[in-house]
Structure 1
Amino acid sequence: MPFSPSELILNADGSIYHLNLLPQDLAPIVITVGDPDRVEHVTKHFDTIRVKKQKREFKAQTGTYKGKEITVISTGIGTDNIDIVLNELDALVNIDFNTRSVKENLQSLKIIRLGTSGAIQPEIEIDSILISQFAIGFDSLLQFYDSKHIQNTKIQNAFIEHSKWAVEKSQPYVITADENLLTHFTETNYHIGFTATNVGFYAPQGRMLRAKLQDDTLNSKIASFRYEGLKITNLEMETSGIYGLSRLLGHHAISINAILANRTLGTFSRNADKTVDFMIKSALERIKSL
């Protein structure tokens, strides 16, 4: 049955509603960044650029890097935006916009997040690169989907018990990276981590300015959690949503993080731009051989 206009929303030119992209605008490899200004930090390394579009915080450019076609798109901050971006990327390749129906032959995208993050383990140094093998989401996004079959309930239940997780908060969920992409992008000097995706930047990440925290020990509980050798390494705001929706929709995703802060030590990078550019150039070199 075709999707109704209220469910699959298209613009007047036939592009998908929020991303403002047409199916032919999208490459099979997609780099996501949070900040719209970071799109050009990636595409300045491209040989060619054939698409430049922006609507709200969603800025997209498609071009080639050493013969490999790539789309770079900004998501803005948070898994609420990831819900929009991942569903609309999937629609661009797997829904026929003319018939408003799912295509018979489905396509899998390769999705690489290049983001920034703060470490919560003291041994993870500032200006290092961390690849997320696991993500634990505190954001509730995946709980709105039929997703129990892709969640690691043993790890998430162990975390809930360890942290004395408040029932008023959304139930955490744990998702793994795409195994092949994890292997492909791993380098000897990279950390392999377990990333916590938070629903906000201040209280959800243990920052207190004027409003008091519900649990001022939460960050220490997160940092002290252990499960069969795993420990949570860093905090950010998108990875769990990218991993969860990618797995549900049949895409392959990896999250690469430039560590710009260490929350345990209270330190912040003095070379943030240099570190982010190193991450971008390293990722592009890996992408060309995908």
Structure 2
Amino acid sequence: MLKLLQNRRVAYMGTPHNSASKGDIAKTVLMPGDPLRAKFIAEHFLEDAVCFNRVRNMFGYTGTYKGKEVSVMGSGMGMPSMGIYSYELFSEYDVDRIIRIGSAGGYADDVHVRDVIIAMAASTDSNYASQYRLGGTFAPTADYGMLSAAVEAAQQKNIPVKVGNVLSTDVFYHVDSEYATRWKNMGVLATEMECAALYMNAAYFGKKALGIFTVSDHLFTGEELSAEERETTFTDMMEIALAI
């Protein structure tokens, strides 16, 4: 794989955040927030994985999974970070599909730690959409084809999933004690911090995106997993993402 990537290289200086050359990154990219989770996926799921980016320790790798080329790269935390990396992947590296695989905090009563959620839509409290000057409220949504394929893959693997709305928030430590309750009352399944920016960038560039999450903690029951468990044990959502 390394030789193949070298042969395909086109002279390119990269971006301020990505040192990859043209051709180093596959058409489909899996994006966990944590760059160490990207490293874990490359080491445990991909064959002949090659690291194409180390800038700011935001690791990115390209390898093959069941004979098909796929890349995995961290996105960092928050919509500004996801906005930067997904924008560059779509616009500078000709990526067609990005699948966010991340952790989420549970809201709904029937959501529990380690449950897998597929985001049909991503509500947000962010001002990210203001750049488009739409004069209204944009609803960031997943690509239906990818969403449908993910649900089918989960069924084939006997992995139960919940499909619905998530909240992409800019605030991790919210001072409003009733904030989560209001979103929960609107049927939001869980909260995370990146998906809406990814869906908006995909819409803007005419590309495809999907968010798949593992519930790492629950804001109402107090259930939670350790940082190490979040990094290395969320294999169900990884397998669903790789299957599509």
Q: Same fold (TM over 0.5)?
A: yes
1:166-218 residue CA offsets vs partner (Å, 9 max, x unmatched): xxxxxxx5311100000000134111020000102111xxxxxxxxx2x3211
Q: How does 1:100-115 map to 2 (within 5 A)?
A: 109-115=96-102
Q: Indicate which of 216, 220, 225 corresponds to 1:264.
A: 220
Cross-structure match for 2:193: 237
Contact 1:128 1:275 in 2 (8 A): no
Contact 2:114 2:215 in 1 (8 A): yes
Inter-CA distance 200–13: structure 2 relative to 1 (3 Å threshold): same
- Does the residue aligned with 2:120 lie in a helix, a strand or coil? strand
Contact 1:114 1:280 in 2 (8 A): yes
Contact 1:122 1:262 in 2 (8 A): no
Inter-CA distance 236–111: structure 2 relative to 1 (3 Å threshold): same
- Does the residue aligned with 1:200 lie in a helix, a strand or coil? coil
Contact 1:127 1:275 in 2 (8 A): no
Cross-structure match for 2:103: 116
- Does the residue aligned with 2:140 lie in a helix, a strand or coil? strand
Cross-structure match for 1:91: 91
Amino acid at match of 1:138: D
Q: Indicate which of 250, 270, 278 corresponds to 2:236.
A: 278
CA distance in 2, matches of 1:224, 1:140: 22
Inter-CA distance 246–146: structure 2 relative to 1 (3 Å threshold): farther
1:125 partnered with 2:125: no
CA distance in 1, matches of 2:134, 2:32: 25
Amino acid at match of 1:220: T
Length, aligned pairs only: 225
Inter-CA distance 20–200: structure 2 relative to 1 (3 Å threshold): farther
Contact 1:131 1:191 in 2 (8 A): yes
Cross-structure match for 1:78: 78
Q: Indicate which of 178, 183, 194 corresponds to 1:217.
A: 178
- Does the residue aligned with 1:37 lie in a helix, a strand or coil? helix
Inter-CA distance 147–26: structure 2 relative to 1 (3 Å threshold): farther
Amino acid at match of 1:279: M
CA distance in 2, matches of 1:36, 1:258: 16
Q: Which has the larger radius of gyration?
A: 1
Q: How does 1:64-75 map to 2 (within 5 A)?
A: 64-75=64-75
CA distance in 2, matches of 1:90, 1:110: 8
The 10-residue stretch of structure 1 (271-280 or 239-248) with the greater mean CA deviation from structure 2: 271-280
- Does the residue aligned with 2:13 lie in a helix, a strand or coil? coil
Deviation of 1:91 after TM superposition, in Å, equals 2.5
CA distance in 1, matches of 2:133, 2:68: 34
- Does the residue aligned with 1:80 lie in a helix, a strand or coil? helix
Structure 2 unaligned runs (5+)? 1-10
- Does the residue aligned with 1:25 lie in a helix, a strand or coil? coil
Q: How does 1:146-161 map to 2 (within 5 A)?
A: 146-147=133-134, 153=137
CA distance in 2, matches of 1:51, 1:33: 15
Contact 2:19 2:52 in 1 (8 A): no
Deviation of 1:50 after TM superposition, in Å, equals 3.5
Give RMSD over aligned pairs.
Answer: 2.0
CA distance in 1, matches of 2:79, 2:57: 14
Report the identity percentage: 24
1:62-113 residue CA offsets vs partner (Å, 9 max, x unmatched): 111111111111111001011211221122245xxxxxxxxxxxxx611101
Amino acid at match of 1:54: R
Contact 2:91 2:205 in 1 (8 A): no
Q: How does 1:111-190 map to 2 (within 5 A)?
A: 111-147=98-134, 153=137, 173-186=138-151, 187-188=154-155, 189-190=160-161
Contact 1:137 1:174 in 2 (8 A): no
Cross-structure match for 1:43: 42
Amino acid at match of 2:42: T
